[in-house]
Amino acid sequence: MPSTLLEKELIEAIAKTYGTPVYVYSREEILKRISTVKDVFSSVNLFPTFACKANNNPRIIEMFKDNGFGADIVSIGEYHACKLADVDDKKIVWNGNGKTRKEIEILSKKVGYVNIDSEEEYEIWSEIDSSAEFFLRVNPDVDAKTHPHISTGLKKSKFGIQTDEIDRILSKKRLNISGFHVHIGSQITDVEPFEEAISKVVDLSKKYGFSKINIGGGWGIKYKDKELDILEYKERIVPYLKDFKMVILELGRYMIAPAGLLVLKVEYVKKTRHKTFVVLDGGMNVLMRPAMYNAYHEVNVLDPESSEKYIIDVVGPLCESGDIIAFERNLEIPKVGSYVIVRDVGAYGYSMSNNYNSMPRPAEVIVYEENGKYDFRLIRRREEIEEMFKTIV
């Protein structure tokens, strides 16, 4: 995304054209991230997929597809998004600990890969005629040192098969298993837990003679200070993967979080004796992460009243005290009617938005560079009020 003045002009043009709240993605930033990932794994047989749960816009999924990525899905809804993006079935990896019987019936002859989460799920697949390749999701009992809600690799987590159950499951021989899958959590900023988990699963793969492996996603980006050191990851992790015939990767956040901005309008600046609140036209309905995980997202004021900074709460319009975008942040006071941008929301932003307080979901726009100039295009229009009630009978 262009910065400073150019960014301001562009954001205002987008906000005026399509209204707010609006998500804005940078095509260039996404492409840059795609090439970084390819570079990190250039010495291995990589099959990269984009984790659609991070962003389910088919126009975004399509960009990944056009650059050689497959897709990691967790529902029929995400499968549908992939079809709108024209992703080849054979390049779709299906994850999830609760795949329903109905979903299995529908997707069993479609998706290319399935990560089996439990022995119980193994039983179901062994009775079904499927064209998919199967991987067993292993729970390596590793602490990802991330937010507990997005940590998935500890033995008490609901995900995966315990290592001491593998022998029993594989000895059933009712399914042809291609390899192991491991994903220990999201927003991981240390290489250490990756190394612990991946080395364990690589050892297991050798023990059972598997030449394919799925190493999940989880790369942590810089929201505030810490981020995963990609070079260190390349040095320490990639050597483990060299002998594999196929290394499946399922990155979501890293691929797109920093490529996305959320633009909101300042409706009120409310000054009380205790606090100053900047009230925006969207809150936890458009961006859940701060309310749900106390997540930090950088906020920028585009049009300040003055350059002086104050400790302020940036909040949404919903009827909940937890409806917060930024808590006690040192910021300029914006002008009423001007715009505020929230950064690093390309992943788990729109895809976690909702209709709480009967607010329609926002629009999404992509910014791209053409002939040295920035232009933008709508990739999802704003939801209409009537659409929220289409399901009422």
Q: Which of 48, 140, 179, 252 binds ligand LLP (CB under 6 A)?
A: 252
Q: Is 72 in the site for ligand LLP (CB under 6 A)?
A: yes
Question: Segment contacting ligand LLP (CB under 6 A): 249-257, 268-276, 298-306, 365-373?
Answer: 249-257
Distance CA 189, CA 257 (A): 14
The answer on whether 356 is annotated among ligand-binding residues is no
b/e 122-147 (16+ beta carbons within 10 angstroms → b): beebeeeebebbbbbbbbbbbebebe
Question: Segment contacting ligand LLP (CB under 6 A): 124-132, 204-212, 250-258, 363-371?
Answer: 250-258
Tell the burial category of 313 from Cβ atoms under 10 Å away from its Cβ (0-12, 13-18, 19+). Answer: middle
The answer on whether 168 is annotated among ligand-binding residues is no
Strand, helix or coil at 278? strand
The answer on whether 253 is annotated among ligand-binding residues is yes
Residues of span 75-114 touching ligand LLP by CB under 6 A: 95
Distance CA 273, CA 271 (A): 7
Q: Is 250 in the site for ligand LLP (CB under 6 A)?
A: yes
- Token pair belonging to 60: 């975004």
The answer on whether 217 is annotated among ligand-binding residues is no
Q: Is 139 in the site for ligand LLP (CB under 6 A)?
A: no
The answer on whether 121 is annotated among ligand-binding residues is no
Task: Between 78 and 332, name the residue whose CB sits nearer to ligand LLP.
Answer: 78
Task: Between 219 and 240, name the residue whose CB sits nearer to ligand LLP.
Answer: 219
Question: Segment contacting ligand LLP (CB under 6 A): 51-59, 264-272, 332-340, 361-369?
Answer: 51-59
Distance CA 162, CA 140 (A): 7
b/e 68-95 (16+ beta carbons within 10 angstroms → b): ebbbbbbbbebbebbeebebebebbbbb
Residues of span 202-241 touching ligand LLP by CB under 6 A: 216-219
- Token pair belonging to 330: 């040192």
Q: Which of 75, 186, 189, 285 binds ligand LLP (CB under 6 A)?
A: 186
Distance CA 222, CA 225 (A): 6
The answer on whether 154 is annotated among ligand-binding residues is no
Strand, helix or coil at 198? helix
For the CB of residue 111, give the shortest distance to ligand LLP in the complex, in Å: 14
Query: Is residue 82 among the annotated active site residues?
Result: no
For the CB of residue 115, give the shortest distance to ligand LLP in the complex, in Å: 7
DSSP letters of 355-366?
A: -GGGPPP-EEEE
Cβ atoms of 183 and 218 within 8 Å: the answer is: yes
Q: Is 187 in the site for ligand LLP (CB under 6 A)?
A: yes
Q: Is 150 in the site for ligand LLP (CB under 6 A)?
A: yes
The size of the interface with ligand LLP (CB under 6 A), counted in residues, is 22
- Residue of 5, 319, 392, 393 marked active site: 319
Distance CA 95, CA 107 (A): 12
Question: Segment contacting ligand LLP (CB under 6 A): 47-55, 118-126, 191-199, 225-233?
Answer: 47-55
The answer on whether 293 is annotated among ligand-binding residues is yes
At 266, which helix (H) or strand (E)?
strand 260-271
The answer on whether 101 is annotated among ligand-binding residues is no
Q: Which of 276, 336, 335, 265 is nearest to 305 (CA)?
A: 335
- Token pair belonging to 74: 């967790």
Q: Is 54 in the site for ligand LLP (CB under 6 A)?
A: yes
Binding mask 273-312 for ligand LLP (x = CB under 6 A): ----------------x-----------------------
Answer left, alpha or beta for residue 89, where phi above 0 means left and psi between -120 and 50 means alpha: alpha
Question: Segment contacting ligand LLP (CB under 6 A): 5-13, 193-201, 222-230, 347-355?
Answer: 347-355
The answer on whether 320 is annotated among ligand-binding residues is yes
Strand partners, 25: 260, 366
Residues that are catalytic: 319
Q: Give binding residues as ranges.
A: 218, 250-253, 289, 293, 320, 348
Residues that bind ligand LLP (CB under 6 A): 51, 53-54, 72, 95, 150, 183, 186-187, 216-219, 250-254, 289, 347-348, 352
Q: Give binding residues for pyridoxal 5'-phosphate as ranges.
A: 218, 250-253, 348
